[in-house]
Amino acid sequence: MLKNFISSLKGKRLNDYVIHVDNVSQGRFVEEINFELYLKTTGVETSENPAVKGKYFLGRGEFYKPWLEIYYDNRVIFKSSKIVDLSEERLDAKLFKHLSDLLPPSSHIMVVYLNHEETRKGLEHGVPAPATTLGYLLWKSGCTWFKDWYFAEGFLEGDIKLQGNKPLNEENRRNDLAEIRREITEFLKEEKRTEKLFVDARKRAEGVLKDIAGMLGESEIHQARKRAAQKQEVQTDA
């Protein structure tokens, strides 16, 4: 099991770097694996700190789907004092896609965001999850449903984290896209603040809408709008 996990990620490319898997161990359950992902240069120098520390649950039976829970650090440092910012070098989306590829449909990824200030502040101020920095990475990796694991009363279930779910099937995907499109459209219509946090969030939101337009044809977009409106009416009536 551990060997299969390592081989599925080891050597995956991130432009001029490859993923190095280390500190792999058995988790709390038979199906759970602890791991760390480092960056390795073509000169075989490995980063001092991991870009990802996480847990991978392989699933159990029919009802317990696989999942990933990760701590993500977008800045890694090498012994040579070289610092690589995965966001600035646009390596982050590729990294998240490699992680997402481990999971089958209806599985999910949870990203701890306590130290990701832009995502934390964005969620606190009403930015839709896919338009936050971490949420956008989850979106690009194939997630279409989101949950913010933060409890305003002050109680936390573990660390605060953003969850992204991969759709179960095509119908599930279309319904999720309709809801995201409705939420993002409303956000862009109402959000006018000029702080960088919101300017960047609007850019990502526009990118999400562009992605959805590319996924759906015009007739399907119309149907998606209709389904989202009907869902909104039901929620209002309730």
Distance CA 203, CA 201 (A): 5
Q: What is the pLDDT of residue 234?
A: 65
Q: Any bridge partners for residue 36, and if so which?
A: 22, 53
Q: What is the mean pLDDT of the chain?
A: 89
Q: Is the pLDDT of residue 169 over 70?
A: yes
Q: What is the pLDDT of residue 31?
A: 82
Give yes or no: residues 94 and 132 share one domain: no
Q: 66: closest CA among 109, 107, 7?
A: 107
User: Which region among 40-54, 65-79, 152-166, 177-191 has the lowest average model confidence (pLDDT)?
Assistant: 152-166
Going by the DSSP 8-state scheme, the letter that residue 131 receives in this structure is G
Question: Stretch 182-198: mean pLDDT, rounded?
Answer: 95
Question: pLDDT band for position 58 (50/70/90)?
Answer: confident
Give yes or no: residues 48 and 145 share one domain: no
Q: What is the pLDDT of residue 152?
A: 47
Whole-model pTM above 0.75? yes
Read off the tokens for 115. 């130290």
Q: 215: closest CA among 144, 136, 133, 165?
A: 144
Q: 216: closest CA among 167, 172, 178, 161?
A: 178
Q: Are strands 108-112 and 75-77 parallel, antiparallel or unpaired?
A: unpaired
Read off the tokens for 209. 């809408």
Give yes or no: residues 135 and 218 share one domain: yes
Q: What is the pLDDT of residue 156?
A: 46
Q: What is the pLDDT of residue 130?
A: 98
Tens digits of residue pLDDT in 78-121? 998 899 999 999 999 999 999 999 999 999 999 999 999 999 99
Q: What is the pLDDT of residue 3?
A: 61
CATH number assigned to the domain comprising residue 50: 3.40.630.30
Give yes or no: residues 142 and 212 share one domain: yes
Highest mean pLDDT among 57-61, 153-157, 169-173, 230-234: 169-173
Q: What are phi and psi of 198, to 5 degrees?
A: -85, -35
Q: How many C-beta atoms lie closer than 10 Å to residue 36's C-beta?
A: 17
Q: Is the pLDDT of residue 185 over 90?
A: yes
The number of folded domains in the chain is: 2
Read off the tokens for 127. 């930015």
Tens digits of residue pLDDT in 10-24? 889 999 999 999 999
Give yes or no: residues 75 and 110 share one domain: no
User: Looking at 101, 131, 164, which one is the last position of a domain?
Assistant: 101
Give yes or no: residues 114 and 96 share one domain: no
- Type of residue found at 163: Q
Distance CA 164, CA 172 (A): 14
Distances (CA, A) of 60 to 34, 101, 129, 145: 17, 18, 28, 22
* Domain range for 132: 105-238
CB 184 within 8 A of CB 202: no
Tens digits of residue pLDDT in 122-165? 999 999 999 999 999 999 999 999 999 986 445 545 689 999 99
Distance CA 110, CA 70 (A): 6
